[in-house]
Chains A and B, each alone.
Chain A
Amino acid sequence: MSKSERPSRLFRNLNAKVASIPMILTALVVFVGGTAWTVLYSFTNSKLLPRLNFVGLDQYYRLWATPRWLISIENLLIYGVISLVFSLVIGFILAALLDQKIRFEDTFRTIFLYPFALSFIVTGLVWQWLLNPDFGIQGVIRKLGWTSFAFDPLYNSSIVIYGISIAALWQGTGLIMCLMLAGLRGIDEDIWKAARVDGIPMWKTYLFIIIPMMRPVFITTLVIIASGIVKVYDLVVAQTSGGPGIASEVPAKYVYDYMFFAQNLGQGFAASTMMLLSVMIVIVPWAYLEFGGRKRV
């Protein structure tokens, strides 16, 4: 499009630029600016108010010497491994079962996915009730006569994080199943025919042919699960409020509590910067694999 008077570059496409102002502001001010601000202030000793009084890595030393943070990290790791392994395994198995040309596929899918429509708060509260030692699953089984039966993850500090993971899996596996099902449906029917002609058993076909072919789906799913793990917050707040004691604390809750209750902003910033770092460790290699090298339009 050649124009006779050649308007200044800045004003070309002006409407699009004006319309993109919210996006530009969000990208620059909130995402880049906000992140840089938090990282910068994590090197200060801000307490009630943010102050630029630099103390080097002090906040980080203190962070890694705080038992509550160490417990949070340990919990996040356990929760993360459980979430990753079980939601991938259960999600894939459910998807494979649904992919067998079964009847009532829609009904089953609707049932498996509905928890995903619920918030983590609702999920946490329901499972808090189900795992209530007096009235929940434990209480019911004890009333049936097995009086020594013990299943009270929410009141036992050594297994509380598993109790939270159960609720998280209930809420999230439906989504993974959907993604996996989409992946399975994307596989050429001829592959199955060829495997059948060669007499390869079904489980072997899945394990050695289908799963390797679904690598991109698995990678995307992995990134989705991983970035969800780091953000876990509401579920813990609703289900245990971090208890018993500090046994089910997680990093996101640490950040929130230090920023808004303990009035120790510097600690909150340092902890959130550590969260950012851990996400980057997952995201950067993925983004590099996904977008690096070839240009996508």
Chain B
Amino acid sequence: MSDQAVSLSAPSGAGHADASGPSGPKPRHIFSRRNIFLYGTLIVAALYYLLPLYVMIVTSLKGMPEIRLGNIFSPPLEITFEPWVKAWSTACTGLNCDGLSRGFWNSVRITVPSVILSIAIASVNGYALANWRFKGADTFFIILIVGAFIPYQVMIYPIVIILREIGLYGSLSGLVVVHSIFGMPILTLLFRNYFTSMPEELFRAARVDGAGFWGIYLRIMLPMSLPIFVVAVILQVTGIWNDFLFGVVYTRPDTYPMTVQLNNIVNSVQGVKEYNVNMAATILTGLVPLVIYFISGRLFVRGIAAGAVKG
């Protein structure tokens, strides 16, 4: 899987491809039928994919009267940022009326430790599996990978009991543990494959020099595998930020992550529906993964190609 992901990045810019010599198709006119069909289809498809984002942004900038009268596709006549302010600081979920900001900070307090903990555990796992194989290690690894395909619903309740026994049920730390557990299969696979691909001599030389398990990990493996750590961080931040199921099962209303709170705000039955506030709240929730996506570019593609294995 990972080697396919790498091959994605093979042909860079469009201009490059034409320079590969006589192998390509013969030069065509820019407005050939082929090009019109090709770019026409792609542009129509691109518009379809962009439409929801456009509607979200446009709606969030309109006032409610304009929404009731107008067309969801038309740009706002009068731009207002009030819905954004309201979504962030005063929108109500049940009894709390302090907006999405609470969910945002909860999500931050969930995501940051979960990402660090899950990556720390999984990278050490991957390292142990790649370089320090002990008897039975592969069995646990296979269980882990198969476990990634088990529907979460099967394991939800036993974990509720475990968390209750250790006193973490309903707390943010409990959710951090859950995210670390369910992030483990894919991340361990990612790190194991990466560490396996590193030259064996490196490891042997360090052993000869007397470095131990942790010494080699901290001083050699860690500094040499920064790219894969970045991929893992992207994968985990988006995955954990977007999680809904674990958030709704393992937290209480005052510790709800942003996705759960967003759903409660938008789908609450009482009160007048304020579509502009709802859309502003929706964008706010999607903003973190979107920013990561647009900044990280190809690394994100690598991350999901690797992460896709978990389904």
Q: CB within 8 Å of B: which residues of A? A: 9, 12-13, 15-17, 19-20, 22-24, 26-35, 37-39, 50, 94, 97-98, 100-106, 108-122, 125-130, 132, 135-137, 139-140, 143, 170, 174-175, 178-179, 181-183, 185-186, 189, 193, 217, 220, 223-224, 226-228, 230-231, 233-234, 237-238, 241, 251-252, 255-256, 259-260, 265, 268-269, 271-273, 275-276, 279, 283, 287
A-B Cβ contacts below 8 A, count: 285
Which 8 pairs from chain A and chain B are nearest by CB?
Answer: A227-B311, A119-B242, A31-B147, A15-B213, A16-B132, A34-B158, A117-B293, A27-B143
Task: Name the residue of chain A whose CB is nearest to the CB of B283.
Answer: A122
Task: Name the residue of chain A whose CB is nearest to the CB of B239.
Answer: A119
Given that A34-B154, A117-B238, A265-B157 are contacting pairs, would A185 and B72 also be in contact in the complex, using a CB cutoff of 8 Å?
Answer: no
Residues from chain B with a CB closer than 8 A to the CB of A259 are 156-157
Task: Name the residue of chain B whose CB is nearest to the CB of A185.
Answer: B7
B140 touches A273 (CB 8 A): no
Residues from chain A with a CB closer than 8 A to the CB of B297 are 106, 110
Given that A121-B244, A121-B259, A255-B153 are contacting pairs, would A241 and B49 also be in contact in the complex, using a CB cutoff of 8 Å?
Answer: no
Given that A102-B38, A114-B293, A231-B311 are contacting pairs, would A269 and B159 also be in contact in the complex, using a CB cutoff of 8 Å?
Answer: no
B146 touches A283 (CB 8 A): yes
Residues from chain A with a CB closer than 8 A to the CB of B135 are 9
Grouping DSSP codes into helix (H, G, I), strand (E, B) and loop, the A interface class, with mixed when no group exceeds half, is helix
B244 touches A120 (CB 8 A): yes
Task: Name the residue of chain A whose CB is nearest to the CB of B128.
Answer: A16
Binary contact track B115-142/A, C-beta < 8 Å → 1, others 0 = 0000001001101110011110100110
How many Å from the CB of A263 to the closest CB on chain B?
A: 12
Residues from chain B with a CB closer than 8 A to the CB of A29 are 162
A127 touches B52 (CB 8 A): yes
B266 touches A234 (CB 8 A): no
Task: Name the residue of chain B whose CB is nearest to the CB of A121.
Answer: B259
Considering the chains assembled together, what is the distance between the CA atoms of A217 and B309 in angstroms? 12
A231 touches B151 (CB 8 A): yes
Residues from chain B with a CB closer than 8 A to the CB of A283 are 146, 149
Residues from chain A with a CB closer than 8 A to the CB of B59 are 129
How many Å from the CB of A42 to the closest CB on chain B?
A: 10
Residues from chain A with a CB closer than 8 A to the CB of B267 are 238, 241
Given that A114-B49, A121-B285 are contacting pairs, would A105 and B290 also be in contact in the complex, using a CB cutoff of 8 Å?
Answer: no
> Which single member of A9, A22, A102, A121 contacts B14 (CB below 8 Å)?
A102
Given that A15-B212, A101-B14, A175-B308 are contacting pairs, would A22 and B7 also be in contact in the complex, using a CB cutoff of 8 Å?
Answer: no
B137 touches A122 (CB 8 A): no
Residues from chain B with a CB closer than 8 A to the CB of A193 are 23
Considering the chains assembled together, what is the distance between the CA atoms of A35 and B158 in angstroms? 8
How many Å from the CB of B211 to the closest CB on chain A?
A: 12
User: B10 contacts the other chain (Cβ, under 8 Å)?
Assistant: yes
User: B236 contacts the other chain (Cβ, under 8 Å)?
Assistant: no
> Which single member of B38, B55, B309 contacts A129 (CB below 8 Å)?
B55
- What is the interface residue range for chain B against chain A? 35 or more
How many Å from the CB of A89 to the closest CB on chain B?
A: 13
Q: Which B residues, 140 to 196, have Cβ-Cβ distances below 8 Å to chain A?
A: 140-141, 143-144, 146-147, 149-159, 161-162, 180-181, 184, 188
Chain A binder among B40-48, B77-85, B221-229: B40-48
| Other contacts beyond A111-B49, A283-B149: 14, CB < 8 A | A9-B135, A15-B214, A26-B181, A105-B11, A108-B42, A108-B46, A112-B46, A125-B266, A129-B55, A178-B301, A182-B5, A251-B153, A265-B157, A272-B151
Residues from chain A with a CB closer than 8 A to the CB of B188 are 23
Report 26 cross-chain contacts, Cβ distance below 8 Å, ordered by A residue.
A15-B212, A15-B214, A16-B134, A19-B127, A19-B128, A20-B124, A22-B184, A29-B162, A32-B143, A38-B155, A111-B49, A114-B49, A114-B293, A115-B52, A117-B286, A119-B244, A122-B242, A126-B52, A175-B304, A182-B305, A185-B7, A193-B23, A227-B311, A233-B244, A241-B267, A276-B154
Given that A19-B125, A35-B155 are contacting pairs, would A94 and B45 also be in contact in the complex, using a CB cutoff of 8 Å?
Answer: yes
How many Å from the CB of A34 to the closest CB on chain B?
A: 4
How many Å from the CB of B116 to the closest CB on chain A?
A: 14
User: B18 contacts the other chain (Cβ, under 8 Å)?
Assistant: yes
Considering the chains assembled together, what is the distance between the CA atoms of A204 and B182 in angstroms? 43
B23 touches A20 (CB 8 A): no
User: B8 contacts the other chain (Cβ, under 8 Å)?
Assistant: yes
Residues from chain B with a CB closer than 8 A to the CB of A121 are 242, 244, 259, 262-263, 285
How many Å from the CB of B22 to the closest CB on chain A?
A: 11
Given that A31-B144, A117-B293, A182-B8 are contacting pairs, would A224 and B72 also be in contact in the complex, using a CB cutoff of 8 Å?
Answer: no
Considering the chains assembled together, what is the distance between the CA atoms of A256 and B152 in angstroms? 10
A140 touches B73 (CB 8 A): yes
Considering the chains assembled together, what is the distance between the CA atoms of A109 and B17 in angstroms? 17
A186 touches B7 (CB 8 A): yes
Residues from chain B with a CB closer than 8 A to the CB of A100 are 38
> Which single member of B1, B50, B161 contacts A220 (CB below 8 Å)?
B1
How many Å from the CB of B136 to the closest CB on chain A?
A: 9
Task: Name the residue of chain A whose CB is nearest to the CB of B262.
Answer: A121
Residues from chain B with a CB closer than 8 A to the CB of A279 are 149-151
Considering the chains assembled together, what is the distance between the CA atoms of A183 and B3 in angstroms? 10
Task: Name the residue of chain A whose CB is nearest to the CB of B304.
Answer: A175
Given that A15-B212, A15-B213 are contacting pairs, would A50 and B157 also be in contact in the complex, using a CB cutoff of 8 Å?
Answer: yes
